[in-house]
Amino acid sequence: MTVAPAERPAAASVSRRVAIWLDRRPRVRLALLLAAPVGWLVVMYLGALGVLFLNSVWLRDEFTGLVSRTLSLDNFIEIATTPIYRTVLLRTVGMAAAVTLTCAVLAFPIAYFMARVASPRVRGLLVVAVLMPLWASYLVKAYSWRLILSEDGLLNWLLAPIGLRGPGQTEIGLWLVFTYLWLPYMILPLFAGLERIPSSVLEASSDLGARGGTTFRRVVFPLVIPALAAGSIFTFSLTLGDYVAPSLITTTQFIGNLIYLNFGAPNLPLAAALSVVPLLVMLGYLALARRLGAFEAL
Amino acid sequence: MRIHRAMMLIAASALALSACATSGTPKPSFNLPTAIGAGEGALSVLAWPGYAENGGTDPTVNWVKPFEDSTGCKTTVQVFGTSDEAFGLYTTNPGKYDVVSASGDASLRLVRAGYVQPINVDLVKSYADVFADLKDKPYNTVDGVHYGVPHGRGANLLMWRTDKVTPDLTTWSDMFDPSKSWFTDKKISVYDAPIYIADGAVVLMKTKPDLKITNPYALDDTQFQAVVDLMKQQKPGIGQYWTDYAKQQQAFEAGDALVGTTWQVITNLLQAEDPPIPVKAIQPPDGATGWSDTWMINSKTPHLNCAYKWLDYIVSPEVNAQVASWFGEAPGNSKACALSAADQANCDAFYAADVNYWKSVWYWQTPETTCVDGRTDTKCKGFDDWVKAWTEIKG
């Protein structure tokens, strides 16, 4: 080390001066701290959304297949006036709602058992069990379900002795697959929500003479509504945007399939306009979830 | 208030983006090269999977390396899954890919958009040996100008499970007949792309001659409506749409599909399984749709010499035979068959030299509003209408 001792105070005083300067300016400190994440958010996230919105108001030249950068609402007018787009949108929202409802019904008892009944050891095992399917690739799971639901598949084989048949590769089959795929995303917030209810509240309820059913209806359920709404955001939005499972399991189109078709056609402007639609649906849903307090439970 | 600010941000970035964007369709003019010079040392290839193997799929399957060694053109390969995806890659990276293997439903769009350039076929040694019935087609030659070199072809076939479907099928109409058991059981498997609408047109050419369809890619309003109605009528019988061939192979194997439109290579794979899946595939006498691929050169390529070297190399008999047997198709070069017994077997399996077989095959071609069958007194449905109709057919 050959640093001259005389230089040291000078160097220290520079960093000291910077420190003092920063200390007096909390806003600059905050700006430096947030520059990277906010930059990421603006450029990658809002930037991508911006490009999406922009494409949706552009047009495409049919002859050359090139995007012409003229502003127009034609894509949205086409979506609004073509019955098939409306049908597909309603079908998609209906599927998302059905999946969300089923997930909620299935997840509640599991989450309740995990949060309030199971011993810590069993609870740990259950959390692992719930998380386990998330370790496998989504694609692998969707493909396995394709096999399970197929004509000579596992489900039909299991049901054959009792004279029944599975739903096959239909919308009902798809509903099962979606419910399976997104169930963990409902269980976890519900589990967290139920765990947060103090035991004293439940004891008070029973001390005041409420039976199990009443306690559930008037105490537990209102307290987990935010958690339920939080979980439903996942199940609803994941179903709304998916196109891989529908194309693997069924021959039915969902909004994601239409986007994919037009993305590949390639008619980017129409695909972008179609993408804006579920975005709007989701904004409405988030507004509703916010009123139910979902964001406090996240 | 916060939301407003975000919206303003989006609007601002949108304006910034549109400001730096250029507009208008490029209309380049070319002087055809008269000789192939020294290579530029690099080449970027956009190809169907299996067309430009560099050992990545199977270390023993590699015809890119010998090309690199002999020409010094370092080659990168990007594959695509559908014609639409290939075209999409060009629209997003117009300068990126020096050469592309385009099927007829992409090639014309590439020409119209100005993405590919005219070719001096005299510079491609093997061009003379390419089967005559692959040359001067509307999807590779526009107004007498060649835009590429034919590479290989295949027909879309009618396949069925011989153990579950008897007697043997003879016509495409069997896939559209609601009284058949495979229709009521939803056991029909079809190709999932708007271009499949042409298959319906091929059926109507036979069953409804009064519609006067002369080319399945040139459909006026009345003809198109009739085809769409036929496709909608088929919809309840369809149990599967496929785009990649593993998906269809699996459906036939599992019995989820008993009848369908297929490629020869899928039939071969099913019959080669252990135990073999009992399937049979024919080109019905009604005719069929099919595909014929063309190697094309980017209009903005900085590697023109390497690109010509690639075209010359990839359709040369040895390489063309290698690609055809690896991919499972009929080679485009007539000399690719007699090289060895195995090559001959491959050619026979795919009817490479059977002129009559291909006479009734309608190669995929992008539908345009100017009727591709030459009619000038009417407008035909363009590809956008096909895409929209496909959405409606699938429901």
Whether chain B has a CB inside 8 Å of the CB on A283: the answer is no
pLDDT of B26 reads: 40
**Same domain flag for B191 and B316:** no
Interface probe for A, chosen from B112, B369, B390 (most Cβ of A below 10 Å), is: B112
Question: Which portions of chain B are predicted below pLDDT 70?
Answer: 1-30
**Same domain flag for B231 and B129:** no
Interface probe for B, chosen from A63, A86, A145, A146 (most Cβ of B below 10 Å), is: A63
**Which chain B residues are closer than 8 Å to A68 by Cβ?**
23
pLDDT of B181 reads: 94
**Same domain flag for B218 and B133:** no
pLDDT of B23 reads: 36
B313/chain A closest Cα distance in angstroms: 30
Please tell me the distance from the alpha carbon of residue B248 to that of residue B16, in angstroms, as a whole number: 46
Nearest to A240 by CA among A44, A98, A84, A138: A98
CA nearest to B187 within chain A? A151
**Same domain flag for B137 and B59:** yes
- Distances from the Cα of A91 to the Cαs of A81, A238, A255, B395, in angstroms? 17, 15, 8, 11
**Which chain A residues are closer than 8 Å to B391 by Cβ?**
84-85, 88, 253, 258, 261
- Distances from the Cα of B142 to the Cαs of B12, B110, B198, B231, in angstroms? 43, 12, 21, 31
Domain A83-296 classified CATH 3.30.2270.10?
no
**Same domain flag for B299 and B245:** no
> Six-digit token pair at A248?
């693997």
Nearest to B317 by CA among B333, B341, B294, B338: B333
**Same domain flag for B261 and B164:** yes
pLDDT of B334 reads: 93
Helices A255-264/A83-112 angle, 10° precision? 130
Contact A50 B10 (CB under 8 A): yes
Contact B10 A53 (CB under 8 A): yes
Contact A82 B388 (CB under 8 A): yes
A199/chain B closest Cα distance in angstroms: 39
**Same domain flag for B269 and B378:** yes
**Which chain A residues are closer than 8 Å to B368 by Cβ?**
63
- Domain spans, chain A: 83-296
Residue B142: give its domain's CATH number. Answer: 3.40.190.10
B255 within a domain of the structure (yes/no): yes
**Same domain flag for B185 and B277:** yes
The reply to whether ipTM tops 0.90 is no
Those residues with Cβ within 8 angstroms of residue B348's Cβ, 6 or more apart along the chain or in another chain? none
B198 within a domain of the structure (yes/no): yes
Please tell me the distance from the alpha carbon of residue B112 to that of residue B107, in angstroms, as a whole number: 9
> Into how many domains does chain B fold?
2
**Same domain flag for B280 and B301:** no
B14 within a domain of the structure (yes/no): no
**Same domain flag for B188 and B259:** yes
**Which chain A residues are closer than 8 Å to B112 by Cβ?**
63-65
Mean pLDDT by 10 residues, chain A (298 residues): 52 84 90 90 89 89 79 90 92 96 96 93 94 90 90 88 86 95 95 92 91 90 91 94 90 91 82 93 91 73
Domain of residue B104: give its range: 39-153+291-356
Give the three-class secondary structure for B140. coil
**Same domain flag for B105 and B171:** no
pTM assigned to the model: 0.79
B136 within a domain of the structure (yes/no): yes
**Same domain flag for B253 and B390:** yes
